[in-house]
Structure 1
Amino acid sequence: MIRPILFSLIGLASTFSFCHAADQQNHNPWLDYYDIQDISIPKGVDPQISGLQALRNGTIAASFHDGNLLVLDPKTMDWSTYATGLHEPLGIKEDKTGALVVAQMAELTRLVDENGDGKADLYQTLSDDFGLTGNYHEFAFGPAMDSKGNMYISLNVASNRAGIFQEIRGPYSKLCPPQEEMKNWRDKEAYKQTQKKVGRMYSCAPYRGWILQVTPEGKTTPYAYGLRSPNGIHIDKQDRLWVTDNQGDWIGTSPLHLVEQGDFLGHPASLLWKDGWQKTIAEMRTSDIEPMRKLPVALFPQGELANSPTQPINTIDPTLFGLPEGELLIGDMNQNNLIRFIADEVKGTMQGTLLPFISGDELGIGNNRFTFTPDGALWVGKMHYRWAGGIGIKKITWKHKPFLFIKKSKPS
C-alpha cells in the first residue's frame, strides 16, 4: 500500500510562489530560514572531509582524505591533530570509552588517546577480516554503531576500469577470471575481454559489496550483501541500520535500504562470497537474483534528487533545527540539496517519501558526512573522491523562523 502525502495546498502555493519570485531576484529562499556558514580548514591538509563526528566533550572530529584526523574546538575555532597516516578514512564514531573508531581502506581502526594529551597513542586494528586487491574502488565506509557498541562497515565493490595488483589480501574467488588476466589491466587491448568476464563492478576478494558487523572486541561477521557503492551507513535510535547505495550496473537508480541480517540488496557481484554460489557474474541473469532480493524502502530519482547519495543522519529536537525529530536527512555528491526521508511503515513493511530540503549554491555539492552539535547546528563535510563533489565544511543553523514543509503521509 502506498499512502498519499499530506499536503497543505495553501502552503504549497505559497512555497512555489516565493520560490519563483526568489529565482527572479537571484535570492535563495532557504537563507531566510537557515544560515549557511563556511568553516575554516587548516592549511596543509587536503580539505576533503571524509568523516565528521561531534564528540561528547564538545569538540568536533574530522577526518580528511589525505589521512589526517583533526579535532576542532568550536568555541575557539582552533584545530589540533589527533591522528595521522590513515589510509582514506571514510567515517568516524566515538565509542563508549571515548576512543575514535574509523574505517580505513584496509581495516577498522580504534584510535586511543592513552595519556590524555589530545593525540592518539594507540592505533588498534579492530578488524581486517575482508579482502583487498589494490583496486582503487575498494572503499570501506563507516562505521555505524548500535546501542551495544557493535560497529557496521560497508565495503565497495571493485571497478573494472582497473584490475588487481600483484599482492592481494585474502583468498581470490574461483568465479573471477584468472589472477594473471586481472593483473594485466594496464594492457587495454588485452584487458577488454577480461572486463566482459569480470563484470562492470566485481568482488574477487572477500566481502566486497557486503556489510560487516564488528563487535567491540573485534569479532567480525558478514551481515548483509548485494551492495555496489554504499557510501551512506547509519544506525538510528531504534538500532535500525540504514544504507544508501549508488546507481550503476544492475541498479537503475540509487536506493535507500533498511537492512537486516542476511539481506541480499540487489547487486550480484557480492554473491561470489555467498556459501554455495556457483555462477560467475557473466552467467548471472535477473531471474537468478530477483527471488532473493529485498526491495529498498525508497528510490532517489536519478539526476533530479540525487546521483550519488551519501550519509543519512536523523533529525533532532524540532525546537533546535525546525524539522520533525527522527526523520532522515541524506546528502548527495552531485546535487546541491539535502534530502528528507519521511518514513511510512505499513503492515510491517517500511516505505517512504524522499523530498528535497535545503538547496542552492550556498550549500553546494559534495555533501558527504554530517553531524549535529548540541546547539542544533548541522555540520556538513564535503568531498569529491576525485570525481564530482566539493571540499570543506559548512555549518547550517536554523534561524528559528517558521517555514512551510510537508510533514507526513496522510493517515489511513
Structure 2
Amino acid sequence: MTFSPRSIAVVLSALAASVAVAVEPATRPANTKPAATKPAAAKAAAKPKPTQRHQQIDQGPFVTATITNQWEEQGITNKGIAVRLDAKDASGKPLLGPDGKPIGGGVLFDTDTCRTAAAWTGGFIDFTRDWTNVRDSKSVKIVGKQFMGTHVGPGWAKPGTVGDDAWKDPRPQGFGPLPHSWLKYKGVYRLNGGFTAFAYSVGNCDVIDMPLEKSGIGDLPGRALEIGASDQQAMVLVAQRAGATARVTDTGVAVLESGEDATAFVAMGSTLPKETKWLADQTAAGGRLVLSIPPRTKPATLTIHTWSGKAADVAAQVSPLVTQRDQLRALPESKNIYGVLTELTGHGSRPLWPDVITTAGQLGQPRDKNAPYIVDTITLPDDNPWKSWMRPGGFDFFTSDPTRAAICNWSGDVWTVSGITGDLKELKWRRIASGLFQPLGLRIVNDQIYVIGRDQITKLVDLNGDGETDFYQSFNNDMEVTPNFHEFTFGLETDKAGNFYCAKAGPVRNGGRGFDQIAAHHGSILKISPDGQTLERYATGFRAPTGFGVGPDGQVTAGDNEGSWVPKCRLAWVKAGGFYGVVPTAHRDTPPTDYDRPLCWFPKNIDNSSGGQTWVTSNQWGPFENRLLHLSYGTCSLFLAMKQDVAGVPNATVQGGVVRFPLSFDSGIMRARFNPADGQLYVAGLKGWQTSAGKDGCFQRVRYTGKTVHMPTAIEATKTGLTITFTCKLSAEEANDPQSYAIERWNYLWAENYGSADYSVSDPTKSAHDTVKIKSAKLQPDGKTVVLEIPDMKPAMQYKTEVNLVSEDDADVRFEIYHTVHGF
C-alpha cells in the first residue's frame, strides 16, 4: 500500500477511510486577496534593498543551520533543520494571507535532542546576511510568528525513567547529541510534495516524525508521528514556554496559556493506544505539555493538531477535532492501518531537480611550449535554475566510473558531474541534494557519497535510483556544535582501514583574536569508525585547519591558519594524540607548555590560509609519485612538500619545506584528489574569507604534459649546510657558484598573540631576518644534487632558500624554497 504525502493529513486523521469529519481550515476564502484600500496620504516608496546572491538560492524543502528562536528564552538550536511549510488548500494551491502573499511557515527540528524546537507561520528563515560567512551567531533567525516551541533539552523522556530524572539533560555544556541509548538521530527523508520526515530512535523503538503544513484547523503546522512497537512507555515533549501555564481540559485537549493567548493541541489516531494521555506540569522553565504513549505491541501512528488564539475560545474552536479524535478511538481493530509513515518513507520521491545542465570545459594554455603542467578548467554550472552558488567545498570521483564526480557547495547543496575526460568538452551537471550545513568536505566510498557539515557526516541515499537523494542519513552525528561563527568542519578523508577523518575549527572570537566557549571537538582532527558508530579526537591544538590529508599508509597531515597561538601558517605531520600548538583547544587537564613541531612554517605572503594535502598516486603525473602536495587557499597556490626525518630533536620527528609549482588557479584551492582513471590531479575551492582568489569557486585539473620538470624535489639540513636535490640535471657552472643561491632565516614567537613578527635568530630581541653566508656550493656526481656549505648552520623556524640555476638542457631553474630546520 502506498500513500500520497499531499493527503497524509487526511490519511492519518481518518486512517480507515470510514470517518469523515469536516473541519473548516479558516474563516476567509482560499486564494482571495483583501479589498484594496487607498492610503490616507501618499508616501514615497522606500527603495528596496538589492537581493543578495545567497538570498536567491532555492534551498530546497529544508535548511540545516544554527538557528535562533523568536522566543529568546528557548535559546539557540545548534543543529537545527528548518522545514519549509507552505499552507495550501484542498487543491494544492497556496493559501493567501491578508496581504495577498502566500502563508509561509516552518518547523525547526533539533537533531541533537530529537525535539521540535519551534513552529511558526508567516515566513521562513532570515537570510538577510550570508549565513555561510557571518560573524554573528544569531544571524539565522525564524521569520514570521512563532506559536510553539520547546527549551533546549531532551525531546523525549529517558526510557525507563520517571520524574525529573526523565528530562534531565546529561550534557555538561548542552552541546552534542544525547546518549544513543536514549535518543539517536538517523536522518531526514525527502518526500513528494515538499514534505520531510525525520527518523530517529527512542530507547528500543523507532520513530518517524513528520511536520505537516496544516493540522486540520486554521493554518498552523501540525505533526505526524509513528512510534514503533515497544515494551517501554514513550513520552514526547510537545510544547513548553517560560511564563506559560500548562493544563489539560476535561475533553483531553492540551493547552498552553500565556496571558489571554493560548495554543491548544489535540492528538488522534486509530492505532493510538487508548491509554495515551496528555501530561501538563509546571517546571522551572515554565509550562510543559507532554504526550504519554503506553507500551504497545504494534506501531502507533498519530497526528498532533494545533490551534492558536484566545484562551477563551479554545473549547469552541477545537471541538470538531475532539469529535474526530473520539470517532477514531471508536473504530474497530479491523479498520486500523499500521505503519503508514514507514510505508511512506520507504520508496523515495520524485526528482526536485531533473534538469541536466551542460557546460564546456576549457583546456589551459601552457606558459611555454616546454611547460610540464597545464591547468584545465571544469566549468561550473554557475547559471542554473536554482541560483545555486557554486563554491565547492569538497569533491570526489565515483568508484565505478571515475569520469563522474560529486561536488558539494558551501551553501548546502551537492551536484554530480559526468564527462570528466580528456577534452572536457561536454560536462553534464545534476543537482542531487540540498539543505546541508555548510558542507566543506566530501568522500565517495564504493559509489556511496558521504558529506561533512558542521553538524555531522551525512550519507546521501538514493532510494529509487532516480539520481537524487531521498534519505539524508546521519552517518555520524556525535560532533559538538556551538553558535560560534568560526567552527567550520573541514575536509573528509579515509584511511586504508576505512576510518573517516575530518577537522573541526576552534571557536574564534569576532576579529580573530582569542576563543569563545570551547566544546569537546573544537580545534581537533577527528576520527570516525568505518561504520560511523564512534568518534574520537585523533589530535588536538588546532585553530582553523582549513584542509588536511590522509596518505595511502594512513599518515595524517594538516595545515593551520595564523592567529592566536599560531604564529604563522604551518604544515603539520600529525601523529595520534599529538598537540599542535593552540593551548585552548588542547583538551588536556593540564595546559601544555610546548607543542609538537610541524613539518614547516610559511611566511604570510606564501600561504596565509592553508588548504588540504594529497599524495601523488602514480607516475602518470610526472616525477613525484608517492610525494605529498600542499594547497594554499589564501594564495591559490600548489606546493610540493619535502620531508626530512629527524631524530633526537625534542617534539620533532620531521622537518622540511615546500616549493611552489609555477601555476595559477581561479579560486582558493582547498581540496585535491588524483583521478584513478587518468592519474591527473584535480583541485577545487572557493572564495569566502581572506584569499587572493579571483572567482567564487573553481574545479580544475592539473595535467602533466610529459615535458621535463625543472624543480627542486628534496631539501635536507645537516650540521654543515643544506643538500638540495632537483628533478633535472643542472648546469655545473651555475650550480657550483655560491652566488647562485641566497639564504635568510628567522624565528616566530609561539604565544597567545595573534600571529607573530619575524625575529632574528642571532638576536631574538630584534625583528629582522638574518642573512646566511654560503661558503661553497658543489654539484654532486648525479648532476641533480647540490651541497651548500654553511659555516654557521642553526635551527630556525623559517628558512628562505633561493636558487637561480640553469638546467643541463638550458631551462631556467629559479625557485624559492621555504623550509624549517628543527635540528640535525
Distance 1:347 1:386, change over 3 A: closer
- Specify the alignment match of 1:170 in structure 2: none
Whole-angstrom CA distance in 1 between matches of 2:377 and 2:491: 25
Structure 2 residue 668 is the aligned partner of structure 1 residue 366: yes
- Specify the alignment match of 1:301 in structure 2: 603
Distance 1:203 1:210, change over 3 A: farther
Moved more, 86-95 or 345-354: 345-354
- Specify the alignment match of 2:397 in structure 1: 54
Structure 1 residue 365, shift from structure 2 partner: 4.3
Distance 1:365 1:300, change over 3 A: farther
Tell me how many residue pairs correspond in the alignment.
333
Structure 1 residue 122, shift from structure 2 partner: 2.4
Q: Determine which of 58, 67, 71 is the counterpart of 2:416.
A: 71
Aligned residue type for 2:406: A
- Specify the alignment match of 2:745 in structure 1: none
- Specify the alignment match of 2:459 in structure 1: 110
Distance 1:205 1:359, change over 3 A: same
Aligned residue type for 1:339: F
Aligned residue type for 1:37: D
- Specify the alignment match of 1:399 in structure 2: 705
Whole-angstrom CA distance in 2 between matches of 1:200 and 1:30: 50
Whole-angstrom CA distance in 2 between matches of 1:358 and 1:49: 23
Structure 1 residue 264, shift from structure 2 partner: 0.9
SS in 1 for 2:525: strand
Structure 1 residue 29, shift from structure 2 partner: 5.0
- Specify the alignment match of 1:335 in structure 2: 635
Q: Determine which of 515, 521, 524 is the counterpart of 1:210.
A: 524
Structure 2 residue 684 is the aligned partner of structure 1 residue 381: yes
Structure 1 residue 256, shift from structure 2 partner: 1.0
- Specify the alignment match of 2:560 in structure 1: 245
What TM-score, normalized by structure 1, do the two folds share? Answer: 0.75
Moved more, 151-160 or 327-336: 327-336
Structure 1 residue 337, shift from structure 2 partner: 2.4
SS in 2 for 1:125: strand
Structure 1 residue 55, shift from structure 2 partner: 1.9
Structure 1 residue 36, shift from structure 2 partner: 1.8
Distance 1:86 1:79, change over 3 A: same
Structure 1 residue 263, shift from structure 2 partner: 0.9
- Specify the alignment match of 2:372 in structure 1: 33
* Alpha-carbon displacement from aligned partner over 1:317-368 (angstroms, at most 9, x marks no partner): 23x21131111111112214211102222349222221111334xx244112
Structure 1 residue 93, shift from structure 2 partner: 0.9
Provide structure 2 residue ranges, at least 5 long, that are not aligned to the other structure.
Answer: 1-365, 716-722, 726-786, 788-824
Structure 2 residue 438 is the aligned partner of structure 1 residue 124: no
SS in 1 for 2:584: helix
SS in 2 for 1:32: coil
SS in 2 for 1:407: strand
Distance 1:144 1:129, change over 3 A: same
Structure 1 residue 129, shift from structure 2 partner: 2.0
Task: Check conservation: 1:157, 1:203, Cα contact below 8 A.
Answer: no
SS in 2 for 1:265: coil
Whole-angstrom CA distance in 2 between matches of 1:140 and 1:30: 41
Structure 2 residue 494 is the aligned partner of structure 1 residue 142: no
Task: Check conservation: 2:542, 2:580, Cα contact below 8 A.
Answer: yes
Hey, which of these two has a bigger chunk of helix by percent?
1
Whole-angstrom CA distance in 1 between matches of 2:464 and 2:643: 44
SS in 1 for 2:408: strand
- Specify the alignment match of 2:612 in structure 1: 311
Task: Check conservation: 2:684, 2:700, Cα contact below 8 A.
Answer: yes
Whole-angstrom CA distance in 2 between matches of 1:155 and 1:30: 43
- Specify the alignment match of 1:346 in structure 2: 646
Aligned residue type for 1:208: H
Whole-angstrom CA distance in 2 between matches of 1:230 and 1:130: 16
Whole-angstrom CA distance in 2 between matches of 1:262 and 1:36: 38
Whole-angstrom CA distance in 2 between matches of 1:350 and 1:371: 24
Structure 1 residue 31, shift from structure 2 partner: 8.0
Aligned residue type for 2:609: S
Q: Determine which of 512, 530, 536 is the counterpart of 1:221.
A: 536
* Alpha-carbon displacement from aligned partner over 1:4-23 (angstroms, at most 9, x marks no partner): xxxxxxxxxxxxxxxxxxxx
Whole-angstrom CA distance in 2 between matches of 1:228 and 1:31: 41
* Alpha-carbon displacement from aligned partner over 1:278-336 (angstroms, at most 9, x marks no partner): xxxxxxxxxx5333x11111112221x21111010112323x21131111111112214
Whole-angstrom CA distance in 2 between matches of 1:316 and 1:217: 26
* Alpha-carbon displacement from aligned partner over 1:75-131 (angstroms, at most 9, x marks no partner): 541011232211111111112x42111110111222223443332332221222232
Whole-angstrom CA distance in 2 between matches of 1:34 and 1:139: 33
SS in 2 for 1:289: coil
Structure 1 residue 369, shift from structure 2 partner: 1.5
Task: Check conservation: 1:203, 1:209, Cα contact below 8 A.
Answer: no
* Alpha-carbon displacement from aligned partner over 1:188-207 (angstroms, at most 9, x marks no partner): xxxxxxx9xxx623443222
Aligned residue type for 1:400: G
Structure 1 residue 132, shift from structure 2 partner: 1.8
- Specify the alignment match of 2:437 in structure 1: 87
SS in 2 for 1:41: coil
Distance 1:400 1:371, change over 3 A: same
Task: Check conservation: 1:372, 1:378, Cα contact below 8 A.
Answer: yes
Aligned residue type for 1:221: E
Distance 1:65 1:243, change over 3 A: same
Hey, which of these two has a bigger chunk of strand by percent?
2
Task: Check conservation: 1:49, 1:368, Cα contact below 8 A.
Answer: no
Give matches, 1:8-47, under 5 Å. 28=367, 32-42=371-381, 43=383, 44-47=387-390
Moved more, 206-215 or 75-84: 75-84
Q: Which structure carries more relative contact order (alpha carbon 8 Å, separation 6+)?
A: 1
Whole-angstrom CA distance in 1 between matches of 2:660 and 2:457: 33
Whole-angstrom CA distance in 1 between matches of 2:519 and 2:637: 35
Aligned residue type for 2:660: P
Provide structure 1 residue ranges, at least 5 long, that are not aligned to the other structure.
Answer: 1-26, 163-194, 278-287
Distance 1:116 1:30, change over 3 A: farther
* Alpha-carbon displacement from aligned partner over 1:229-279 (angstroms, at most 9, x marks no partner): 0111211011111111111111111111122221111001213x43x34xx
Aligned residue type for 1:367: I
Task: Check conservation: 2:682, 2:699, Cα contact below 8 A.
Answer: yes
* Alpha-carbon displacement from aligned partner over 1:204-245 (angstroms, at most 9, x marks no partner): 322211122111222111221100001112110111111111
Whole-angstrom CA distance in 2 between matches of 1:315 and 1:255: 20
Structure 1 residue 148, shift from structure 2 partner: 1.3
Moved more, 31-40 or 371-380: 31-40
Aligned residue type for 2:373: Y
Task: Check conservation: 1:337, 1:365, Cα contact below 8 A.
Answer: no
Whole-angstrom CA distance in 2 between matches of 1:394 and 1:30: 21
Decide which structure has the larger Cα Rg and report it: 2
Identity score, percent: 25
Whole-angstrom CA distance in 2 between matches of 1:142 and 1:31: 35
Distance 1:29 1:136, change over 3 A: farther
Structure 2 residue 672 is the aligned partner of structure 1 residue 357: no
Q: Determine which of 572, 577, 589 is the counterpart of 1:257.
A: 572
Give matches, 1:187-206, under 5 Å. 200-206=514-520
